[in-house]
């Protein structure tokens, strides 16, 4: 049975979290408050609108739906200005080597990200050509921990859920992968990634053979 790989983007292949943080911080500051690094951690893997709502709540600020739309697009304009300058040098350690090896061995590769900016990031960092399918924030109606994003990716790859192995840095993403019945590799701190089959620091710490052993067939 064929194994396929589904990669989250931010925190797994590239570190765009630093740009999200700068843009959200600028927005919060413009509204007269700030938020902590620990609070920022909670935004990882969370959609743009949900992130905005969490930040407004931290600042004790209420806004109308029209104002929320405006604030979200303001943040996004600052974020897009920053990611437009990204380079291939910002790809996280081990990513390029692993993607190359998977391709070489004929293993299908999909993106499963909450971001609506994934196409720009993949282009800027030179990773776009590796992907057989891309499912991102533009393609889903329900965000992680709902499994929709990964189920859609498996469908596009024409692979059974049990054959898919997901790579995730966010707890909500680990939950989504488990809900989809897929294998899941956590990237980061094991404490925050309960439910992952294994947790590694970055993609340099895993081989294709180890990935194939994680499918759920
Ligand atoms: P955008 P991932 C997520 O990416 C980020 O971790 C999260 O911080 C961000 O709010 C979300 O994408 C939406 O991003 O504003 O570009 O649509 O980890 O799911 O690849
Ligand atoms: Mg992520």
**How high is the ipTM of this complex?**
0.95
Q: Is the CB of 145 under 6 A from ligand 1?
A: no
Q: Is the CB of 143 under 6 A from ligand 1?
A: no
Which tens digit of pLDDT belongs to each residue from 31-72? 999 999 899 989 999 999 999 999 999 999 999 999 999 999
Q: Is the CB of 95 under 6 A from ligand 1?
A: no
User: What separation in Å is there between the alpha carbon of 163 and the centre of ligand 2?
Assistant: 21
CA 43 to ligand 1: nearest atom: 8
Exposed/middle/buried for 186, CB within 10 Å: 0-12, 13-18, 19+? Answer: buried
Q: What is the pLDDT of residue 46?
A: 93
pTM of the prediction?
0.96
Report the residue among 27, 113, 169, 192 best suited for mutation to probe ligand 1: largest number of ligand atoms under 8 A from its CB: 113
Q: Is the CB of 147 under 6 A from ligand 1?
A: no
Helix, strand, coil % (nearest 5) of the chain?
50, 15, 40
Q: How many CA within 13 A on the CB side of residue 57?
A: 8
Residue nearest to atom 16 of ligand 1 (CA): 115
For residue 145, whether the previous peptide bond is cis, meaning omega lies within 30 degrees of 0, is yes
Q: Residues forming the annotated binding site for substrate?
A: 8-10, 24, 43-48, 51, 75, 113-117, 144
Question: Which residues are identified as catalytic?
Answer: 8, 10
Which tens digit of pLDDT belongs to each residue from 64-121? 999 999 999 999 999 999 999 999 999 999 999 999 999 999 999 999 999 999 999 9
User: What separation in Å is there between the alpha carbon of 170 and the centre of ligand 2?
Assistant: 5
Question: Does 1 score more than 90 pLDDT?
Answer: no
d(CA 96, CA 138): 25
Contacts of 126 (CB under 8 A, 6+ apart): 88, 91
User: What separation in Å is there between the alpha carbon of 48 and the centre of ligand 1?
Assistant: 7
């Amino acid at each position: 049975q064929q194994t396929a790989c589904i990669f989250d983007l931010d925190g797994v292949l590239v570190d765009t979290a630093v740009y999200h943080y700068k843009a959200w911080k600028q927005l919060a500051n413009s509204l007269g408050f700030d938020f902590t690094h620990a609070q920022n951690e909670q935004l990882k893997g969370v959609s743009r609108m949900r992130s905005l709502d969490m930040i407004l709540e931290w600042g004790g600020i209420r806004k109308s739906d029209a104002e929320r739309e405006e604030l979200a697009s303001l943040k996004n304009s600052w974020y897009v200005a920053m990611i437009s300058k990204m380079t291939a040098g910002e790809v996280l350690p081990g990513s390029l080597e692993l993607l190359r090896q998977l391709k070489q061995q004929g293993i299908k590769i999909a993106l499963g990200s909450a971001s609506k900016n994934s196409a720009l990031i993949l282009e800027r960092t030179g990773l776009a050509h590796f992907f057989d399918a891309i499912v991102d924030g533009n393609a889903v109606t329900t965000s992680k921990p709902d499994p929709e994003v990964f189920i859609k990716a498996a469908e596009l790859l024409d692979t059974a859920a049990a054959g898919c192995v997901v790579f995730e840095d966010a707890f909500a993403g680990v939950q989504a992968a488990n809900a989809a019945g897929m294998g899941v590799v956590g990237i980061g701190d094991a404490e925050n990634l309960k439910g992952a089959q294994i947790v590694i620091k970055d993609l340099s710490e895993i081989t294709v053979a180890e990935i194939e052993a994680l499918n759920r067939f």
